[in-house]
Structure formats: structure tokens, C-alpha cells
Amino acid sequence: MQTVVITGGTSGIGLATANIFLKNGWNTVLIGRDAEKGMQVEQQLGETYSPAQVAFIQADISKSSEVEHVKQITLNKFKTVDAIINNAGIVIHGEVHETSEEDWDKIFNVDVKGTFLIN
């Protein structure tokens, strides 16, 4: 069975993507920062499909140690990763020239660095 890892997989486009992969028989790993939400989504998807097919892992993909943890858990559980959906992202509303350096770093770390680290 093939395995997909989906960052930002607990809502919106990520969750919709997870449903598509699960419907097609893939093992599906959902990554998100909110543990409570992630566990609820994992349970709901497990009830709809198979609990053995879905796993939620709490992680901040902008941190290399947490991404490494995701890789270890995924490979221990499913033995392979066949696809990665880089869906996680954050947005801070406002004009670019009014964005603080701290907000810029948050955006860059999740949207760019996180995509780099997860691959």
C-alpha cells in the first residue's frame, strides 16, 4: 500500500486531499500543529476509512528536529513514503512594507523552510 504525507492536513485543502488519498486506498499521514484538532481528524477519518490507514503527527514543519521525528514515525508505521503534499502555510494579512521582521520570519519559516525540510 502506498503512503502519502500531507502537511497542513487537518483542515481545508489538506483535509480534502487526505480524503481523496484515503478513498483510493493510500496510507495517509497528516501533519499539523494543533494536537487536539489533529487527533479529532485522525479519529473521524479512521472511522470513515480504516484506523490503520491514517495517522496524525503533531509537528511544526519549520523545525528540523520535528520534521525528523515525523519521518521516523512515518517510516516505522508505514515503511515507505511515496508522495508528499506540501500544503502547510501561514498568512499574515497586511501590506508587505508594513510586515514586521518577526512576521516575515514566521511566514518564510513555514511556507519556504518547512517545504524544504519535509522533502
Q: How many C-beta neighbours within 10 Å does residue 58 have?
A: 18
pLDDT of residue 119: 84
Residue 70 has pLDDT above 90, yes or no: yes
In this predicted model, what pLDDT tens digit does every residue of 24-40 receive, in sequence order? 999 999 999 999 999 99
**Fold topology of 3-118:** Rossmann fold (3.40.50)
Can you tell me the distance from the alpha carbon of 107 to that of 76, in angstroms, rounded to the nearest whole number? 31
Mean pLDDT across the chain, nearest whole number? 96
Cell of 25: 486506498
Q: What is the mean pLDDT of residues 42-59?
A: 97
pLDDT of residue 32: 97
Collapsing DSSP to helix, strand or coil, 54 comes out as: strand
In this predicted model, what pLDDT tens digit does every residue of 85-107 receive, in sequence order? 999 999 889 898 899 999 999 99
Can you tell me the distance from the alpha carbon of 40 to that of 59, in angstroms, rounded to the nearest whole number? 16
User: CB within 8 A of 55, min separation 6: which ones?
Assistant: 27, 28, 29, 30, 42, 73, 74, 77, 78
pLDDT of residue 114: 94
Nearest of 51, 23, 22, 62 to residue 31 by alpha carbon: 62
Residue 77 has pLDDT above 90, yes or no: yes
Task: For the chain, give the percent of residues with pLDDT over 70.
Answer: 100
The radius of gyration of the chain from alpha carbons, rounded to an integer in Å, stands at 15
